[in-house]
Structure 1
Amino acid sequence: MAEQDPKPKKAKGGSALGVIVPVLVLTLVAGGGGFVVGKQIIAKAKASVAGVGKPADAAPPVPIAVKELIPIVANLLTPEGSWVRLQTAIVYEKADAPQIDILSAKIADDMLAYLRTLTLTQLQGASGLQHLREDLSERAAVRSDGHVKEVMIEMMVIQ
Structure 2
Amino acid sequence: MAGEAKPEKQAGKGKRKLLLLLPMLLVAVGAGLWFSGIVPKMLRGEDSAYAGHAPPAARPPVFFDMPDIVANLSVAGRRPSYIKLRSKLELARAEDAAPLQAAMPRLLDLFTTYLRELRPEELRGSSGTQRLREELIARANLVAPPARVTDILFTELLLQ
**Same topology, TM > 0.5:** yes
Is it true that 1:87 corresponds to 2:86 in the alignment? Answer: yes
CA distance in 2, matches of 1:107, 1:143: 6
TM (norm. structure 2) is 0.58
Report if the CA contact (8 A) 1:63-1:94 is conserved: no
2: CA distance between counterparts of 1:59 and 1:146? 24
Contact 2:87/2:152 (8 A) holds in 1: yes
Structure 1 regions of 5+ residues with no counterpart? 1-43
RMSD: 3.1
What is the DSSP-based 3-state SS (H/G/I as helix, E as strand, rest coil) of the residue aligned with 2:103?
helix
Q: How does 1:40-119 map to 2 (within 5 A)?
A: 56=50, 61-62=58-59, 64-79=61-76, 80=78, 81-92=80-91, 93-119=93-119
**Matching residue of 1:126:** 126
Query: Partners of 1:59 and 1:104 in 2: how far apart?
Result: 33
Relative to structure 1, the CA distance from residue 95 to residue 62 in structure 2 (aligned partners, 3 Å threshold; closer, same or farther) is farther
| Structure number with bigger Rg | 1
Q: Choose 115-124 or 102-111, whichever is displaced more.
A: 102-111
Give the gaps of 5 or more residues in structure 2. Answer: 1-36
User: Structure 1 length as normaliser, TM-score?
Assistant: 0.58
How many residues in Structure 1 have an aligned counterpart in Structure 2?
Answer: 111
Amino acid at match of 2:74: L
1:154 corresponds to = 155
Deviation at 1:98, TM superposition (A): 2.7
Greater percentage in helix: 2
